[in-house]
A and B are shown apart, each in its own frame.
Chain A
Amino acid sequence: MIIDVSENSLTFEGDLDLDAVGEHYKQLMDWLAKNREKNIYLDLAHLNYLDSAGVALLDELYDKAQKQGTRLHFVAAPNNIQATISAFSSRHIQKPEPKPVFPLFERVGQWAYQIWLEFVYLIYLVSDAFYFTVIQLVSRKGVRKGEFSNQCILIGMDAFPIVALISFLIGFILALQSAAQLRQFGASIYVADLVAISMTREMGPIMTAIIFAGRSGSSIAAEIATMVVTEETDALKSMGLNPIRYNLVPKIHAISMMMPLLTVLSMLLGILGSMVIGITYLDIGVKPFYNQVVNALILKDIVTGIIKSVVFAWLIVLTAAAYGFRTRGGAADVGRATTASVVTSIFLVILADSLLGLIFYFDPTSPI
């Protein structure tokens, strides 16, 4: 590419293609900016090849010149070059109007309305989910065969090892840390009470719920979100199937059953973990430790733990579904929905735990 510049003319020779444009763009723009001529002639007679980048450059020169009151004249362009220019020129293409920016109050209104819509949507989702969860108990239609046991394995069995391990370690650590304190008062045996009560009332349900939120909640959200963006849910609807029923209900059934089971397991293993400390470190026998645990616990501790776990299960699965079904767009939105679902469900679990703790154990007349 050779460019020949003089006061009021510009001669191109050779190929004005992408590489040439990248190379000469700055130089040409600088030349034009300094130029004060009224008319400039662009001689294209010796131009051999022009691609769309070249046309873009010519357009840019033309517009810039026009802005500074100069007129560009393309002269002696061979037919093929002329054809390329008219085929690719951007000067007649209309840009879309920029979106109007609404005034503050309208935006606030819109935002509030949006939140209201989301709330309504949530109510619909939750009521649909409840409705179909109950219906599904009597009618087996609308769900793939074997999906329930499939989900039980996916959600429950696969979480079993990690729940077991973490609960055992939590019990172990709790015992170790409290032993150091209680020992000073000669009250080592109360390690058993402490761990038994905290595992059944709090740690068991909470730890299981957090693990479930991370494992199952995220995968449920990702699965549903992907189905939405790839139009699979639309396809289900077109086949007369309800996506909530087809997809979500088996998961709700499975998680409502597996969470309490694993929570009980978690309680047991936590106590077992503390027993290891009791026996080895504190020199309490198996029998006395066991008796101490049994005496410390009342039925209410275990029942409230299980009730909590069911509530948590529902929170996790519905949060995942809410984010999943509301996803629009593409791959990145699936990722966002998944993360948001995990964070929100852990927050909701802890919030619910506080509320339930107050309901079950708060007694204004006497301390527990």
Chain B
Amino acid sequence: MTNESDNIVSVAHLTSGYNGDKVLDDVSMVARENEITVILGASGCGKTTLLKHLIRLFYPWSGSIAIFGQEITDMDEPEFNELLLKIGVLFQNGALLNSITVSENIAIPLEQHTTLPATLIQRLVLIKLGLVELSHALDKLPSELSGGMRKRASLARAIALDPPLLFCDEPSAGLDPVTSESLDRLLLKLRDDLGMSMVIVSHELASIHRIADSIVFLDDGKCLFCGPVNEAKSAGIAEIDRFFRVGEFG
């Protein structure tokens, strides 16, 4: 059993849904510090919904969610906003602001939440864009980027403040295997160099093998497994075995 205080995210008995339709059913999971926790499961099983609950875009019907050891379901607004500064979020569809350029998008959190001078902000924007290999698209508008480029640009925005905790909804969906691999290397670099902890929704088996320390397996709103990767495969859970088997080729 791991130490409670290592858990940077811990969800207990979370039940929730939209307009009376239950989507998450008694989900309990944890994500540990300085680890990459991958949430996986079939399309429509509630992964995005779970992630959105973690940043309180929705309130659960019941259950508790603790981040950095603090219960967020009953936290007041200013305190929660303070907490959000330590969390970076990459949305499934990118969610860049379309009326401003890529570099301005990434500068938003830096300008709003730090006292850094403009030159340093510009430099940081360049650093972040360089990390996602988009420094050539600095002055482009989001509508002028490809789908995968948009995804990478929003990852750059998510890590603008070097948050200790990063949530990513399918960062590598829509990317070619080579770009996807270099994105994974970036995530590992962020974990190792900056000590970031991450909760990542992903379907890509190759990517899961490369980056996952632990996995959370959701099936139809229920959490079937939460623990280290190697245990997942030997846990003898039919759905998980199927997931890994189907995804393999050759």
Contact = CB atoms under 8 A, between A and B. Distances in A.
B97 to A, nearest CB: 7
Interface string A139-154: 0000000000000000
B119 interface: yes
Nearest to B131: A88
Q: Name, among A56, A84, A99, A328, the residue most crowded by chain B CB atoms within 10 Å (CB to CB).
A: A56
A34 interface: no
- The A contact surface, by secondary structure, is helix
Interface in B125-139: 126-131, 135-139
Contact of A51 (B97, B139, B194): B194
Range, interface on chain B = 20 to 34
Nearest to A329: B143
Interface stretch (A65-73, A210-218, A261-269, A330-338): A330-338
A25 B117 contact: yes
A43 interface: no
A20 B131 CA distance: 22
Contacts, number: 88
Range, interface on chain A = 20 to 34
A90 interface: yes
A87 B99 contact: no
A367 interface: no
A18 B161 contact: yes
A206 interface: no
Contacts of A84: 193-194
Contacts of A52: 124, 127-128, 159, 162, 194
A128 interface: no
Given A17-B162, A52-B124, A329 B135 contact: no
B162 to A, nearest CB: 4
A53 B194 contact: no
Nearest to B137: A96
B123 A330 contact: no
B135 A96 contact: yes
A328 B126 CA distance: 26
Given A95-B126, A95-B138, A96-B137, A53 B98 contact: no
A21 B120 CA distance: 9
A43 B116 CA distance: 23
A53 B99 contact: no
Interface in A63-83: 80, 83
Given A52-B194, A87-B189, A95-B138, A330 B97 contact: yes
A22 B118 CA distance: 11
B98 A332 contact: yes
A50 B143 CA distance: 34
Contact of A53 (B116, B131, B143): B116
B137 A25 contact: no
Q: Name, among A51, A55, A94, the residue most crowded by chain B CB atoms within 10 Å (CB to CB).
A: A51
A124 B223 CA distance: 55
Contacts of B116: 18, 21-22, 25, 53
Contact of A18 (B114, B129, B142, B159): B114
B229 interface: no
A96 B136 contact: yes
Contacts of B129: 93
Contacts of A17: 162
A221 B56 CA distance: 34
Given A93-B127, A94-B135, A329-B143, A56 B193 contact: no
Contacts of B45: none
Contacts of A272: none
Interface in A324-349: 328-333
Interface string B139-164: 10111000000000000000101100
A301 interface: no
Interface in A36-60: 51-53, 55-57, 59-60
Contacts of B138: 95-96
B115 interface: yes
Interface of B: 97-99, 114-117, 119-120, 123-124, 126-131, 135-139, 141-143, 159, 161-162, 189, 192-194
15 contacts: A18-B114, A21-B116, A25-B117, A26-B117, A52-B127, A56-B127, A60-B123, A90-B123, A90-B124, A94-B136, A229-B98, A328-B143, A329-B141, A330-B142, A332-B98
Interface of A: 17-18, 21-23, 25-26, 51-53, 55-57, 59-60, 80, 83-84, 87-90, 93-96, 99, 229, 328-333
